Amino acid sequence: MNIMARIITCSQITAAVEQLCREANYYLENDVRKALENVLAIEVSPQGKEVIKQLLANATIAADEEVPICQDTGAAVIFLELGQDARIEGGYLYDAINAGVARGYTSGYLRKSMVFPPLDGKNSGDNTPAIIHTKIVPGDRLTITVVPKGGGSENMSAVAMLTPAAGYEGVKKFVVDTVKKAGPNPCPPIVVGVGIGGNFEKCTLMAKEALLRPLGWPHPRNEIAALEKEILEAINSLGIGPQGFGGRVTALAVHVEIFARHIASFPVAVNIQCHAARHKSITL
Amino acid sequence: MATKLIHTPLTDFDVSELRVGDQVLISGVIYAARDTAHKRLIALLGQGAELPVDLKGQVIYYVGPAPAKPGQVIGSAGPTTSGRMDPYTPCLIKEAGLKGMIGKGYRSPEVRKAMVEHKAVYLATVGGAGALIAKCIKKAEVVAYPELGPEAIMALEVENFPATVINDIYGGDLYEEAIARYAHK
C-alpha cells in the first residue's frame, strides 16, 4: 500500500506564524471584545467602568493602526496540533516556527522580550525562541495557535500539589486565593485558566490550554461548568475590579480543564491571563 | 473624584496636593525605566557615582515600549508591573530625590514608607491600554543604556498623560480602599 502523505512545507509554516504573531497582537478577539462590552453594564464602580471603556478604545486604536494592543507582546507561546499523516518538508518544523516568530516580531514592530541565558542574559533581538507545545492528532493537517503571553499576568500564576483530601473546596480556595494575591498586578479583568489533575507538568499545560477556549463557552461536563461558575462568582466578589481600582469585574471568565490523577496526588494549576487574552489560529 | 493637572518636575507642594483616587493628567518630561535600568542606577548610587539622568523631582514611568512604526513617536507604551522595581525604589526616593512613579500593581511596605517619609507619590495608568497611552507621548528619546533595547532609559515628553493616584504622601492606598469598598462577603 502506498499512501501519499499530505505535504506541508516549512515556508508555508513560517509565513503563517509570521502573520499570526502580528494579528494576535493587533486585533482583540471578538469574544473578548464582546465580554468587555457585556461587563461594562455589570460594573458598578465608576473607575472600573472608565478602565473598561479605555480598554475598548485601546483595542479600536490597535486594530485601526495595526499596532500592538499592549507593549508587552509576550513570549511567543505556540500550540501545534500535528496530524500524524501529514509530512513536513523543507526543513525542521521548530526552525520554521522560530523563523516565523522572528519575522513576525520584526516586521510587525512588536517588542522583543526574550533574554538568554536566563540568569543574566542578553535580548535575543527577535523574540525567539518560541515556547512550543506539540500534540500529535489524527489526520493530515497542522493547526498552529500563537499565544503571545505577557509577563505581568504570567508572573501571577501558580501551581499547588494539593492532597486528595483538599477536594472541591480546596481547589476553589487555591484558585480564588491566587487571584486575590495577584490583585491589580495582572491587569484585571482577567481570564483564569485552571488545570485540575494529571501531574505537575500536565496541570500547568492544561491551565494554559484552558485560556484558548472562547469566552462564554462553559466546560462540556456539567459539574465542571458549575465549578467554573462558582469560582468566577467568588473571584468577582473580591472587590479588586478592573485594574484593581475596585469593582465587581475582576475576571471575565474561569476556564477549567481536567485530567485523571494519581491516587496520591491532586495537582491544581492556575494560569492568569490579562484582559487581552491574545491568541490566533490557522489550520494548514 | 477630582481631575488635577500636574507638570513635571514635581515639588513637595505638588505631591502634597495629591490624594488617593485623584485622576491626574501629567504634562512635561517623564523617564521610562524598568528592571535592568533600575539595577544599574542603584549600582551607581552605591558607588557614589553620578546618574546618567538627574532624578531630583522627576517621575519614572515603568514601561518597556514596543518599537515605533515609521511615522510613530513611540510604539504601544502601557505600564509594566511596578512591584519588580520595589527593591530599588526606596533608594531612588531617598538618595536621588525621585518624586513620582507610574506603573501598575502593588508596592511593598518599604516603598510605601519611603513615599510617606520623603514625600513621593505612586500613580497607576491602565495596563493593557498601551496603544491609547502612546497618543499622549509627543517625543521619545533614549538618554541612557541604548543597548538594553526596550529596557533603555528614555525621556518621554508627555501631554495630558492620564493616571490615578494609588499611594499619596499621607499613607493612603487606593487598592486597599477599593477592596474594602467593593468586596462583598
Query: CB A71 to CB B65 under 8 A?
Result: yes
Pick from A74, A62, A78, A79: nearest CA to A28 = A62
Q: Which of B132, B147, B160 to mutate to test binding with chain A, by most A CBs within 10 Å of its CB? A: B132
The residues spanned by each domain of chain B are 27-182
Determine the average pLDDT of the residues in B62-75: 95
Chain B residue with minimum CA distance to A55:
B129
ipTM over 0.85: yes
Determine the average pLDDT of the residues in A197-211: 97
Is a pLDDT exceeding 90 seen at residue A150?
yes
Determine the average pLDDT of the residues in A162-183: 96
**Cell numbers 501631554: residue:** B159
Query: CB B183 to CB A238 under 8 A?
Result: yes
pLDDT band for position A216 (cuts 50, 70, 90): confident
pLDDT score, position A3: 64
Nearest to B132 among A58, A125, A274 (CB): A58
Query: CB A67 to CB B185 under 8 A?
Result: no
Which residues from chain A sit within 8 angstroms of residue B184, using beta carbons? 237, 239
Which residues from chain B sit within 8 angstroms of residue A46, using beta carbons? 1
Phi, psi (rounded to 5 degrees) for B3: -105, 125
Query: CB A58 to CB B130 under 8 A?
Result: yes
CA pair distance B112, B89, nearest whole angstrom: 10
Chain B residue with minimum CA distance to A28:
B128
What digits encode the pLDDT tens for the residues B106-147? 999 999 999 999 999 999 999 999 999 999 999 999 999 998
Give the 3-state secondary structure of chain B: CCEEEEECCCCHHHHHCCCCCCEEEEEEEEEECCHHHHHHHHHHHHCCCCCCCCCCCCEEECCCCCCCCCCCCCCCCCCCEHHHHCCCHHHHHHHHCCCEEEEECCCCHHHHHHHHHHCCEEEECCCCCHHHHHHHEEEEEEEECHHHHHHCEEEEEEEEEEEEEEECCCCCEHHHHHHHHHCCC
CA pair distance A55, A33, nearest whole angstrom: 9
Q: Is A68 on the interface with B (CB under 8 A)?
A: yes
In degrees, rounded to 5, the angle at the alpha carbon of residue B84 between the alpha carbons of residues B82 and B88 is 95
Asked if the bond preceding A189 is cis, omega within 30° of 0, the reply is yes
Q: Is B81 on the interface with A (CB under 8 A)?
A: yes
Phi, psi (rounded to 5 degrees) for A255: -115, 125
Do residues B133 and B115 touch, judged by C-beta distance below 8 A?
no
pLDDT score, position A120: 80
Q: Which B positions 41-60 lie with beta carbon below 8 A of chain A?
A: none
Determine the average pLDDT of the residues in A143-153: 96
Query: CB A184 to CB B78 under 8 A?
Result: no
Nearest to B69 among A47, A109, A183 (CB): A109
Pick from B10, B134, B122: nearest CA to B64 = B134
Sign of CA dihedral B22, B28, B32, B38: negative
Query: CB A276 to CB B128 under 8 A?
Result: yes
What digits encode the pLDDT tens for the residues B11-54? 999 999 999 999 999 999 999 999 999 999 999 999 999 999 99
- Number of CB atoms found within 10 A of residue A11's CB: 14
CA pair distance A49, A224, nearest whole angstrom: 30
Mean pLDDT of chain A: 96
CA pair distance A105, B1, nearest whole angstrom: 41
pTM, rounded to two decimals: 0.94
pLDDT score, position A4: 74
Chain A residue with minimum CA distance to B82:
A185
CATH of domain B27-182: 3.20.130.10
Chain A residue with minimum CA distance to B103:
A185
**Cβ-based contacts under 8 A for chains A and B:** 157
CA pair distance A86, A89, nearest whole angstrom: 10
Query: CB A238 to CB B179 under 8 A?
Result: yes
Query: CB B130 to CB A71 under 8 A?
Result: yes
Chain B residue with minimum CA distance to A44:
B182
Distance from CA of A243 to the nearest CA of B (A): 7
pLDDT score, position B150: 86
Listed range (A31-35, A50-54, B1-5, B94-98) with the worst mean pLDDT: B1-5
pLDDT score, position A61: 97
pLDDT score, position A34: 96
What digits encode the pLDDT tens for the residues B149-181? 889 999 999 999 999 999 999 999 999 999 999
Q: Is B146 on the interface with A (CB under 8 A)?
A: no
